[in-house]
Amino acid sequence: MFVLVCAFLNAQTDDSTQVRKIYDFYLTQSKSYSNLEVLTKKIGGRLSGSKQAQDAVYWAKKALYDAGADTVYLQPCMVPHWVRGSIEKCVLTSSKLKLNKNLAITTLGSSVSTPMAGLKANVISVASFEELEQLGVEKVKGKIVFYNVKFDDTRIIPSSAYGETVKFRVHGASYAAKYGAVASVVRSMTHARNNFPHTGNMKYDPMVSKEKIPTFALSYLAANELSEALTKDNELMLFLQNESKNLPDAPSFNVIGEIKGSEKPNEYIISGGHLDSWDNGEGAHDDGAGVVQTIDVLSMFKKLGIKPKHSIRTVCFMNEENGLGGANAYFKEADEKKLKHIAALETDAGGFSPRAFGVDTTAGMYKMVLAWLPIFKPYLIEQIKVGGGGADIGPLEKLGVPCIGFEPDNQRYFDIHHTSDDTFDKINKRELELGAAAIGSLIYLIDKHHK
Ligand SMILES: [Zn+2]
């Protein structure tokens, strides 16, 4: 027993020494920050189907080769091609309150447009789908439904408030249409009290309603104004106008960079983020950060001269935001070719200070990673949580692949998520690099210890 314990402690000391070297590499030689500057400033917002998304594919291919990939693949996928258009207008009018005021609004992704000249209607505020149902066609028909549900400020982790309210963004239009509404608006998914509206994807559900009505998000402050005004004048009107379009699906690619494994080249450890982003900002935290951090996994192996046993892949997924075309294409090929994946890690929660990893219990992965918590503690990783992953690697869970989610500090993410404020200047270089170092270290440890 004593010998075994000593062997375990020696292994942990070796691992700690190597992880220290990995952190030193990232904190002095990482390309994450400079790569992200190019991706955000030279290319910018990269919505699926756009020229910028295509430019990002070519950029990623080069960045992966520069990082030291032996091979870079472009994996074809089909993606929705939604275009926002240049007009987005919302005007609140009330003769009673002598109001005629523009409100900050953004069209939700995949939404249809209003008639060309816009639409004008009374507004009905609801706090839940149940309330909407109780009001029914009689009270809702011909109106604009306002899902007046705030992020719960008492939640410690903002993503849990997001989890509770995002259903109104995704499904609100179909439920409103079911009762004859002409449009729906939601509060922006945020705690931040400002005038940046937050976009994000919505879905029309033909099982709920065959009608497709336009749908929008108001900024936090605009939603407050509307809510307040409705308490004084429930006859007020909103004018809405936009010109979004759903074009035919377009061809695009995931970009996959690989370093071949020296002992088990047919067994893969993958990490990735998503290359596409919303069009209104620069996609800096969501998810340029994840893309550059996982490209940097390859540079770490190359620069430190570590030959991985398993094949190490970085996957820059396409179309996470509005369709998962890339995630499904990766899954399909992995399934058809019976590719063996040891683990899949996703970083899609911003380039903030690392806090935790969420790890699936599948195939003993959680136990293995939990044993390394003492190695990560000096680097401020406080927790290994049960269960993890991300939208892009989610489909791989069907193949029994243990999935891991990188969890940075969440407090500021929803301040800028899906807004025009998600720009490169919101990135802190050291926080971004600490995240890259945590991810690189975990991939290194999995490769070294997985039997
Ligand atoms: Zn994302």
Write the pLDDT tens digit of every residue in 197-247: 999 999 999 999 999 999 999 999 999 999 999 999 999 999 999 999 999
- Cβ burial 350-366 (10 Å sphere, 16+ → b, else e): bbbbbbbbbbbeeeebb
The structure tokens listed for 195 are: 């005038």
* 96-102: long-range pairs with CB below 8 Å, 24+: 96/232, 96/233, 96/235, 96/236, 97/229, 97/232, 97/233, 97/236, 99/229, 99/236, 101/225
Inter-axis angle of helices 2-29 and 429-449, nearest 10: 140
User: What's the gap in Å between 287 CA and the centre of ligand 1?
Assistant: 5
Q: What does the alpha-carbon distance between residue 68 and residue 451 come to, in Å, rounded to a whole number?
A: 25
Strand partners, 81: 247
User: What's the gap in Å between 27 CA and the centre of ligand 1?
Assistant: 24
The upper half-sphere exposure of residue 293, i.e. CA atoms within 13 Å in the direction of its Cβ, equals 41
User: What's the gap in Å between 126 CA and the centre of ligand 1?
Assistant: 28
Pairing of strands 403-408, 340-346: parallel
User: What's the gap in Å between 415 CA and the centre of ligand 1?
Assistant: 14
- Which residues belong to the active site? 320
User: What's the gap in Å between 320 CA and the centre of ligand 1?
Assistant: 7
Burial of 67 (0-12, 13-18, 19+ CB in 10 A): buried
Percent of the chain with pLDDT strictly greater than 90: 97
Residue corresponding to tokens 């447009």? 113
Q: What does the alpha-carbon distance between residue 338 and residue 359 come to, in Å, rounded to a whole number?
A: 23
Write the pLDDT tens digit of every residue in 393-447: 999 999 999 999 999 999 999 999 999 999 999 999 999 999 999 999 999 999 9
Start-to-end Cα distance in the chain: 22
- Where helices occur in 337-402 by DSSP H, the ranges are 365-370, 373-376
Q: What does the alpha-carbon distance between residue 346 and residue 324 come to, in Å, rounded to a whole number?
A: 14
Q: What does the alpha-carbon distance between residue 131 and residue 369 come to, in Å, rounded to a whole number?
A: 45
Pairing of strands 264-274, 310-317: parallel
Q: What is the DSSP letter of 425?
A: G
The structure tokens listed for 378 are: 């000096």
Residue 211's identity, in one-letter code, is E
User: What's the gap in Å between 401 CA and the centre of ligand 1?
Assistant: 21
Confidence of residue 13 (pLDDT cuts 50, 70, 90): confident
With a CB cutoff of 8 Å and minimum separation 6, the contacts of 10 are none
* pTM exceeding the 0.75 threshold for the entire prediction: yes
Q: What is the pLDDT of residue 9?
A: 64
User: What's the gap in Å between 259 CA and the centre of ligand 1?
Assistant: 25
User: What's the gap in Å between 388 CA and the centre of ligand 1?
Assistant: 15
Q: What is the pLDDT of residue 2?
A: 57
Q: What is the pLDDT of residue 6?
A: 62
Q: Reduced to 3 states, what is the DSSP secondary structure of residue 156?
A: coil
Q: What is the pLDDT of residue 107?
A: 98
Write the pLDDT tens digit of every residue in 244-288: 999 999 999 999 999 999 999 999 999 999 999 999 999 999 999
Q: What is the pLDDT of residue 268?
A: 98
Inter-axis angle of helices 289-303 and 2-29, nearest 10: 110
Write the pLDDT tens digit of every residue in 138-179: 999 999 999 999 999 999 999 999 999 999 999 999 999 999
